[in-house]
Amino acid sequence: MNVRYLGGRRKSALLAGLTVLGLILTACGSSKSGGGSSSSTSTGTQASAGTSAGGPGSGSTINIGVLGAFSGALAQSGTPVRDGVMAWVQTVNAAGGINGHPVKAFVEDDKANPAASTQALRTLVEQDHVVALVGVNAQGTEQTWASYLQARNLPVVGGVQGTAIWNTNPLYFGVSADEYIKEQSFLLGSKAAGKTKVFAMYCGEIADCATESNKVKDQTSKIGVQWVGSASVSASSANFSAVCLQAKSGGATAVAVLLPAATFGRIADACHQQGFDPLYATSFGSLSPSVVKLPYMNGSYTNVALAPADLPATADYAAAMKKYYPDVDLATAQGQAGWAGGILFQTALKNIAATSTVTSADVIDGLNSIKNNDLGGLVAQPLTFEKGKPHPAINCIFTAHIKDENLVGDKQPLCAVGS
């Protein structure tokens, strides 16, 4: 379905997104109209510029593109990113726009397909005349855009980044943690807790899970922990006692978890029954409310990629999502990544004149003027961009620990070593 307009409030029943291994764990002709709402999986959507009291001023409209996998198997992690951007669009417009310029967002679903992604990008640029892509969640297809974007000098601003191009191409301006710290985070928190013998359990259905497990293993010498083994785990297994005993007999004191939440919950129960309650180091996608409530999970931690909840910038995000997308789980990091992309775009244009017609060059110049800025705490490492140069990787990530059957965000981010 192709719907090219999205306005007003829209509810979408979404599952919590995944962070560190989101891409892996979730893998187990258009028409325009003038109002109304769309389903959460619609393609080619145009966000309204906003018409509420105190809304946008009389400046020219700024068109942005939101591109990513918003349907199919990867929609679970893609749609919260989109909704985070859309909440920002509606919030900024309700406050008068960016220096009087209303923002209009055109959304295209690329289904994580390179060919579809290329066509969607051409639509956004050539038909919708966007000046930037904001808060993308392309899940790997963003690396196919480089030459097209280069020819048009069009920037990509924030979202969830899954490939190295974010740190090699000057037109990609990221807000999300690099894969390097995501891999190390499974080990750094364990070492800090004094649990230095690490075993990994990873999903057996997807080849990339084994690859990620090996990448974590490769970081052990830098972190100073001991790798005592790993095991592929099938979600369809009737009994997980064997993998628990394998980790226990290997002397593991910490277990790196690269598994969907439903599978991990069953494994944690099975290991407890075997008298094995290690410190679990997980990606956020491995947790569920029921897992967090398990009494033997106390002290375990996750690399959530979410800013601390007590920051004003985080409170603004939460308020906007509750107003415009109340069904989105605020614990999902993807929504915040989309919102942060919008805030980065807004920061780049903070000095734009109300009388200007905003161009891609204006956006790029504004982005390259940003120095040592953490967007009010939304990103774990301050951002600095320099014209024409690849941008430094974000090598810090937010974490949270399970305490008294609750997930409590840590005040200080976790940062990579030896990068």
Domain total of the chain:
2
Q: Residue 300's pLDDT is what?
A: 94
Are both 273 and 407 inside the same structural domain? Answer: yes
Report which of 28, 103, 38, 86 is spatially closest to residue 349, judged by C-alpha positions.
Answer: 103
HSE-CB of 103 using CA atoms within 13 angstroms = 29
Asked if residue 343 and residue 250 are part of one domain, the reply reads: no
Q: Residue 385's pLDDT is what?
A: 96
Q: pLDDT tens digits for 204-250?
A: 887 878 999 999 999 999 999 999 999 999 988 999 999 999 999 99
CA 320 to centroid of chain Cα atoms:
17
- pTM, full prediction: 0.79
244 located within any domain? yes
Q: Is the domain of 36 the same as that of 123?
A: yes
Residue 6, in any domain of the structure: no
Percent of the chain predicted with pLDDT > 70: 84
**Spatial separation of the C-alpha atoms in residues 213 and 258, rounded to whole Å:** 7
Structure tokens at 175: 């807000």
Taken in order 269, 274, 277, 280, is the CA torsion positive or negative?
negative
Q: What is the pLDDT of residues 384-413, one digit of tens each?
A: 999 999 988 899 999 989 999 888 888 889
Range of the domain at 235: 182-304+399-415
Residue 187 domain-assigned (yes or no) = yes
Predicted confidence at residue 330, as pLDDT, reads 76
Residues (pLDDT < 70) of the chain are 1-57, 73-77, 162, 331-332, 419
